[in-house]
Every structure is written in C-alpha cells, then in structure tokens.
Amino acid sequence: MSEYLSSLDGDAASVGVVEKKFFTFAAPPHCLVLESGARFGPITLAYETCGTLAPQGDNAILILHALTGDSHVAGTYSATDPKPGWWEIMVGPGKGIDTDRYFVICANVLGGCMGSTGPSSLNPATGEPYGLDFPVVTIGDMVEAQKALLDHLGISRLLAVIGGSMGGMQVLEWCVRFPERVAAAVPLATTPRHSALAIAFNEVARQSIMADPNWNQGNYYGGKKPDLGLAVARMIGHVTYLSDEAMRRKFGRQLQDRSTFSFNFDADFQVESYLRYQGTKFVERFDANSFLYLTKAADYFDLADRGGGSLAAAFAKARARFLVVSFTSDWLYPTARSRKMVQAMKKSGLDVSFCEIEAEWGHDAFLLPSPRLSELIRGFLDRVWREEHGAGRGEGEHAF
C-alpha cells in the first residue's frame, strides 16, 4: 500500500538512512510450535529500527505492518534512495511517533516475502523454496515470532504496539497473548475478526492466484510466476481498500487517454487502467504464495477465540491502555467492528479511547497523511509515556 507515498515530503524531517537487519531463531530442534501444532524452524525475521533504545529499554514501540507491508516503516536505505518507508508520514523526528523520543521496531511478518521466512524462503532440508510445504501460520504465530525478536533485542516491555488492518490484528493479539509486555496499544482500521464479506474477497483473490496455470501448486520459483493471478488478486484487494466515494472522486467514469470507447477490452476507463497498473506494480515486489498464506492468517484470526468465544473475556486478559481508531468510509473493517471491540474493552474494565476519523479514502485512510491521526497518536503516546514514567505507574491498573 506504500505506493501512495512515492516521494518524501520536502520539508519533513526523516529518520534518514536505515538498515534492514535479520534475526534467526528456532533452529531445530528448538523449533517454534505453531498454532496448527506443526513444529517449524529455523525462522528469520527481517526488521528495522529507528531512534535510540533508552538505557532502561522502556521507550520501545513495535509497529506492525498490514498485509503487503514490510519492515521498512520509515527512512530510506541510502542517501540517494528516493522511496521512503511505508509510514514515513507518521514515524520520524517530531512526528506522531517521534523517533527523537521513542525506539521504533518494525519486522516483516512470519510468512511474508520481504526478508522474513515465508513460502519463498529456502527450505534448509531440501535446498529448495518451501512453496506449499511452508506451514500455515496464524496471527498468533506472527506475534510469537515478534516476541522472540524482542527477547533478542532485550526489550521486556513495550511502551506501545501500533498497527493498522492486519497489523491491528497483531496489536490485539499482542495485548491478550503477552499482556504484561504491552503498556499501550493502538489498533487502527482493524477488526477482531473477518466478516464473511472480508473472507469472501480474500478467497476470490486467492482463487485468482491458484487459477493461474503458472502457480503450479505453489512450485513456480524456478520458472514463470503466477503474475497474472497475483495482479488480479491485488486489484480485488485494492478495490476493498478504497470507497465508493473515493473512486467516484478519483476516477468517476473518465476515460484513460481516449475520448471514445475502444469497443474492445482495452482499459477504457481510468479506473481500469489504475487497477491494472497497481496489479502490475505489485507483482514486482510480492510473492503469490505469501499472499495466500497471509490472507489465510487474517481470515483465521478471531480474537474471541482467546476468550472461549467471548470478546470481552479475551480482552479481560489485556492490561494495555487502548486507543482505537476507525475511519468513516472504511467498509472493509467498518467502524461498527471497532465499536464492538471498544464495547468489549469497556466491559472488561480497560482504559480505552476511541475516535472515528472522517475520511473519504476507505480502508487505506490509515496510511494517508492525516494531521488528526498524527495528533491522536502523539497525544496518546505522550500520556502513556508520562504515566509509565510518572508517579502513577498505571501498570495492570484497570483505570476507568
């Protein structure tokens, strides 16, 4: 989704040059036991950090990326690299997540294809890419892997976990899986579980990949890739990230580089051309099998499972202060889903703030520049920081 931000805002401060690092763990026989019961390892996580970890290690913020994101949250890979990280607008000196104050960590998820172990990684047992031999992973498994990374970095407690969409699911999972390790949480534009509608869109996207003859049961790494299937999957996803209003305003029924219909199946409309472009661009950077695995993980996620079917019981395990944010035009994870979460948090006695931001851009609004979102996150983090460092240490406190 980072295609929205193709260049740095001229006068905005940046974290500057960052480096992608790698951490490998769970080498056999110390495999990670996945939620499916499978034992898996070794696991490598690609991660990046910005800012400086305080000597007490108490200023760390873990940012969790969405479906197609990666560890490159902010900054650039070199002084001449024109493309900043996917949340450059939010993460940096003096920004909503101020790297002058906080130490920011972002890792590519388990199952991804941006440096962390996933279906495109080499299976050490065979020397070939895993393909479909890669085990099905869950949001919980991703969080377990992130926890191992934090242990490695010597961070016992996070000041905050922050993420949108599938990243928001990981935020929620963190709060109930490791409650004592999270002081505050910011789930953005997310849901405690997928609706049938969201699963349906994911399934159509997966089918388009699997229907591509090049997919070849996931064994395509030596030859032609299922680019067509993946591009269509991206087009479907992209539609769900926008909104009726956003598409009407951005494209309407305008034609692309022509004044009349072609009377064939070229991209007549601007919206067609845009989606084709997004699809083509996406296949350059994303692995089709990863898309299958990650969408499956998102579909499987149901936070209520952590509370025996009750969302309130699940949140009763959490100890974090929450800031929940939704966006008015997000129909993929609509405000009603966030309200359900907030309701359950209130029932469980959690300290929660909630804001629905007026935004016309649909689900992707959380990635777009929003002074309001920056202001919310900055203020919330500042308060958590003060409470954690001040007299009234609110740890574990049900602060109504």
Task: By CB under 8 A, name the binding residues for other proteins.
Answer: 321, 323, 339, 342-343, 346-347, 349, 351-358, 372, 375-376, 378-380, 382-383, 386, 392, 399-400
User: Is position 165 annotated as part of the catalytic site?
Assistant: yes
CB-wise, 211 or 399, nearer to other proteins?
399
Q: In the complex, what is the shortest distance from the CB of residue 326 to other proteins, in angstroms, rounded to a whole number?
A: 9
Closer by beta carbon to other proteins, 200 or else 399: 399
Catalytic entry in 121, 165, 208, 326: 165
Pairing type for strands 32-33 and 91-92 reads unpaired
Beta strands 43-50 and 21-25 are antiparallel
Shortest distance in whole angstroms from residue 390 CB to other proteins: 10
Q: Least distance to other proteins from the beta carbon of 385, Å? A: 10
CB atoms < 10 A from the CB of 328, how many?
A: 17
The CA distances from residue 19 to 55, 61, 69, 245, in Å, are 21, 17, 16, 39
Tell me how far, at minimum, the Cβ of 234 lies from other proteins, in Å.
32
Instruction: Give CA angle at 19 (293, 104), nearest 5°.
Output: 75
Q: Measured between alpha carbons, how far is 255 from 270 in angstroms, rounded to an integer?
A: 5
Q: Which is nearer to other proteins, 134 or 380 (CB)?
A: 380
Q: Which is nearer to other proteins, 95 or 321 (CB)?
A: 321
Q: Closest distance between other proteins and the C-beta of residue 400, in Å? A: 5
At closest approach, how far in Å is the CB of 394 from other proteins? 9
60 DSSP β-pair partners: 103
Alpha helices, DSSP H, located in the chain? 139-153, 166-177, 196-210, 227-241, 244-250, 270-285, 288-300, 311-315, 335-347, 371-389
Structure tokens at 151: 């242990």
String of b and e for 270-299 (b: at least 16 CB within 10 Å)?
bbbbbbbebbeebbeebbbbbbbbbbbbbb
Distance separating alpha carbons of residues 158 and 181, to the nearest angstrom: 6
Q: Output 85 or 362, the one with its CB closest to other proteins.
A: 362
The angle formed by the CA atoms of residues 118, 161 and 307, to the nearest 5 degrees, is 85
User: Quick one: 263 or 400, whose CB is closer to other proteins?
Assistant: 400
* Nearer of residues 122 and 399 to other proteins, judged by Cβ: 399
Q: How far is the CB of 342 from other proteins (least distance, A)?
A: 7
Looking at beta carbons, which pairs linking 81-87 to residues 24 or more positions away fall under 8 Å?
Answer: 81/17, 82/6, 82/7, 82/8, 83/2, 83/6, 83/7, 84/5, 84/7, 84/8, 84/14, 85/2, 85/18, 85/48, 86/1, 86/2, 86/5, 86/367, 87/63, 87/367
Smallest Cα–Cα separation from 66: which of 154, 191, 155, 177?
191
> Do 26 and 40 form a contact (C-beta atoms < 8 A)?
yes
The catalytic residue among 120, 363, 364, 370 is: 363
Q: Could you confirm whether 330 is annotated as catalytic?
A: yes
C-beta closer to other proteins: residue 152 or 398: 398
Ramachandran bin of 16, using left for φ above 0, alpha for ψ from -120 to 50, beta for the remaining angles: left
Whether the CB-CB separation of 30 and 41 falls below 8 Å is answered with: yes
Find out whether 43 and 25 touch, Cβ atoms under 8 Å: yes
Output the smallest distance, CB 140 to other proteins, in A: 27
Please say if 363 is a catalytic residue.
yes
Q: Which candidate in 287, 330, 351, 364 is catalytic?
A: 330
Would you please indicate which residues are annotated as catalytic (active-site) residues? 165, 330, 363
